Amino acid sequence: MDTETELMLDTTPTVYVRTIDAAEIMDQAASAGVKLDSDATLYAIHDENGQRMAVFSDREAAFAAARDHGAEPVSVH
């Protein structure tokens, strides 16, 4: 198998992890019964289209969750 064929067969989705301010999601968190410090830094997982999929309190948890769900996480600065 050549490299191009191998790349075409790789179906592991890439997701992007970036920091967000808790203030960005205060309304959603409150409606879900979650209390956040508005000054906190959180880590959000986004799909390839930029859609936020999940939010975590630390980077390691975000990366672990992405891998546990079969995705390849990368950092976005």
Q: What is the pLDDT of residues 12-64, one digit of tens each?
A: 899 999 999 999 999 999 999 999 998 999 999 999 999 999 999 999 999 99
In this prediction, residue 39 carries a pLDDT of: 93
Checking if the pLDDT of 70 tops 90, the result is yes
Checking if the pLDDT of 1 tops 60, the result is no
Start-to-end Cα distance in the chain: 35
Any residues with CB less than 8 A from the CB of 57 and at least 6 apart, and which?
A: 40, 42, 43
Any residues with CB less than 8 A from the CB of 49 and at least 6 apart, and which?
A: none
pTM here is: 0.81
